[in-house]
Structure 1
Amino acid sequence: MATVGRRSASTPRELARVGDRLSFVYLERCTVHRDANAITAEDGEGITHIPSATIGILLLGPGTRVTHQAMSVLGECGAGVVWVGERGVRFYAGGRSLSRSAALAEAQARAWANRATRLEVARAMYRMRFPDEDPAGLTRQQLLGREGKRVKEFYRKEAARVGMQWKGRRYVPGDFDSGDPLNQGVTAAAQCLYGVCHAVVAALGCIPGLGFVHSGHELSFVLDIADLYKTEIGIPVAFDTAAQSPEEVGPRTRRAIRDRINEDRFLDRCVADVQRLFLPEGADSALADDTVDRVALQTDRGGEVESGRNYADGVIW
């Protein structure tokens, strides 16, 4: 009788393309196990079977337990696994990336390693946040100055819109309750966006620590990406929530951000934005192709040669 341990791993061509998979599956308060090439989610209501090859990324929420066999089949089919907070709001830890290609990580590293291209990406991020302004030619100091001015003005406008007084951004790490309702909402919204963007960055195989605006932190790039949506999503949702009631602003803001993310198909947009920063137009489709595992060897001249062969007899490098 065959056991799970004797099953052969699926080849890339046997797997569903990323574009044909579910974007994510969220589970909570259940035990995740394996049955043949499917995963099962068992809770008090019974057992649900989920074909593992159809999962883009599995989000494991509070109260989940996952077996070694379940993780094995998820790894074989190339699904990403992320441990998150309730309803997928916060990112705690992640397994392998969803992408089988290193193209995006390499493109990010190349752009980060050169000071000129690093600044160009920072300008591109500014342009994505404020499309009515062209940051071409701006220095980093000028970018930061303009960004700070626009965000301060946006805080004031949003406060006037909801009819509340804005006293400035104040946040004491570790003391959430010390902030007024507006500040509590902004903090909660930011934490949500950090978690969701971290999940996207991890799934795409990008390098969280290589930031283009932020620097020195293990999540610098995550902070960069989350800031793209601060004035469009984070601050408006936070101010709307705080204006409704000063009670439980944090939990209500997190739920409101979750609903907004679902309504706007935010995950698809975030993925596209990250790819647009580093890849030439049209290259993202190659990343989504999981039908081929491509491994090459680097050469001294910057090119690549075929892997899987012996070069003892010499080759033009």
Structure 2
Amino acid sequence: MKEIPGVRPVRIGELVRAQDRLSFIYLERAVVHRDANAITATDERGVVHIPAATLGALILGPGTRITHHAMMLLAESGSTTVWVGERGVRYYAHGRSLARTSRLLEAQALAVSNQTTRLKVARAMYAMRFPDDDTSGLTMQQLRGREGARVRRIYREHAERTGIEWTRRDYNPNDFSGSDPVNQALSAATTCLYGLVHAVVVALGCTPGLGFVHTGHERSFVFDLADLYKAEYAIPIAFDIAADDVDDIPSATRRAVRDAIHAGGLLGRCSKDIHTLLLPDEPDAADTWDADIVELWDRSGNVTAGISYDDEEVPW
């Protein structure tokens, strides 16, 4: 048989386990290509080789170009590619998901399709924001009320800390400059947070549209998760930027959020939180989420794929 031209695909056994991989590499203003089973990044400083099999996600910032062969290798290696804004604070598009299994996606769809499990996940999300309170018996209305009071209190605290006059969250999505400086900074910071969370969601193979608290929007799950981190990242940064009276609020806010996300390890934290929320009874699920498993569905339990079942009795 004639051999297929080109470098052979990477075998599953040659790939590095998810927990042992580099979480991600961010590149900007570079040309990304392939050299055998490595990714190369070329800029004015020279060429860097990156072993594709050890890479979790390749995040491409402004000024990057990537070749077809590089994308082939990343897909074969179980790595994902995400196109973002400066240092990852805005999400634009993604390539193949990093996940090799649909385990998280199935868990998400199953949980959101049942009122009992959906409420359980929603309560768990609120519990992350109220670690000292018992939220297990609260209704969604009660949870929303507590969350609203918490956010209003946080706004007041940061307004007092920075000396910013604060009335309420007020913005027009179609008129960014129509808001006061602190609301502009809040909008910019929140957009950055959405971009990062969106990148993690798609890298893990989940769907952004199936939310537990939010619903009806293509990014409902993104909004759910971002709300877990707004009080820690977006709100204090926005008030600090407004207090500094900078000329370019959006740019200054993006840089501040970028640095805080990097320093706080939010990518890894968000990934862990998704596993905790969707697979609460499987504490080690994050260690096996990239397993390459294909099965056939059956009412009595899944069966192995890749086997001929032509000898089975047909019930009709």
TM-score by length of 1: 0.93
For structure 1, the 5+ residue unaligned runs are none
Can you list the C-alpha shifts for 1:165-220, whole angstroms capped at 9, x where unaligned? 10210111122111111111111110111000001101111111000011111111
In the alignment, the residues of structure 2 paired with residue 76 and residue 111 of structure 1 have an alpha-carbon distance, to the nearest angstrom, of 30
Q: Is the 8 A contact 1:91 1:198 kept in 2?
A: yes
Aligned partner of 2:312 in structure 1 is 314
Q: 1:157 aligns to what?
A: 157
Return the alpha-carbon distance in structure 2 between the equivalents of residues 169 and 218 of structure 1. Answer: 23
State the 1:233 CA deviation.
1.6
Could you tell me how far 1:268 is from its partner in structure 2?
1.1
Q: Structure 1 residues 175, 263: closer, same or farther in 2, change over 3 A? A: same
Q: Please report how far the alpha carbon of residue 133 of structure 1 lies from its aligned counterpart in structure 2 after TM superposition.
A: 2.3
Cross-structure match for 2:294: 295
2: distance between equivalents of 1:177 and 1:4? Answer: 57
Shift of 1:142: 2.1
Distance of 2:156 and 2:63 partners within structure 1: 41
1:117 aligns with 2:110: no
- Counterpart for residue 20 of structure 2: 20
1:244 aligns with 2:244: yes
User: 1:195 aligns to what SS in structure 2?
Assistant: helix
**Judging changes above 3 Å, is the alpha-carbon distance between structure 1 residues 296 and 153 closer, same or farther for their aligned structure 2 residues?**
same
CA distance in 1, matches of 2:16, 2:214: 36
**Which residue is equivalent to 1:87?**
87
- Cα 1:265–1:286 change in 2 (3 A) is closer
Deviates more, 1:141-150 or 1:264-273: 141-150
Q: For 1:316 and 1:20, locate their aligned partners in 2 and report how far apart those are by CA, in whole Å.
A: 46
Whole-angstrom CA distance in 1 between matches of 2:132 and 2:161 = 21
Given that 2:19 and 2:287 are in contact with CA atoms closer than 8 Å, whether structure 1 keeps it comes out as no
Matches of 2:236 and 2:173 in 1, distance apart? 22
Q: Where do 1:192-271 residues align within 5 Å?
A: 192-271=192-271
Q: Which residue of 1 aligns with 2:131?
A: 131
Q: Residue 316 of structure 1: CA displacement?
A: 11
Between the two proteins, the alignment pairs up a number of residues equal to 313
Q: Does 1:188 align with 2:188?
A: yes
Could you say what secondary structure the match of 1:39 adopts? strand
Cα 1:153/1:5, change in 2 over 3 Å: farther
Q: For 1:56-71, what aligned pairs fall within 5 Å after superposition?
A: 56-71=56-71
Deviation per residue, 1:211-263 (Å, 9 max, x gap):
00111111110110011011122111111221122432221111111111111
Match of 2:29, SS state, is coil
Structure 1 pair 184–31 and aligned structure 2 pair: CA distance change class (3 A): same
The Cα RMSD (Å) is 2.0
- Report the residue type matching 1:283 in the other structure: D
Give the drift of 1:269.
0.8
In the alignment, which residue of structure 2 is the partner of 1:282? 283
Quote the offset at 1:52 in angstroms: 1.4
Distance 1:316 1:300, change over 3 A: farther
Distance (Å, rounded) in 2 between the aligned partners of 1:205 and 1:39: 23
Per-residue CA shift, 1:10-64, capped at 9, x if unaligned?
1111011222221111111121111111111222332222221121100111111
Kept after mapping to 2: 8 A contact 1:181/1:246 = no
Contact kept in structure 1, 2:57 and 2:79, CA below 8 Å = yes
TM-score (norm. length: structure 2): 0.93
Moved more, 138-147 or 259-268: 138-147
Counterpart CA distance in 1 for 2:117 and 2:292 is 29
1: CA distance between counterparts of 2:184 and 2:63?
27
The CA deviation string for residues 78-111 of structure 1, in whole angstroms up to 9 with x for no partner, is: 1110000011110000111112121111111110
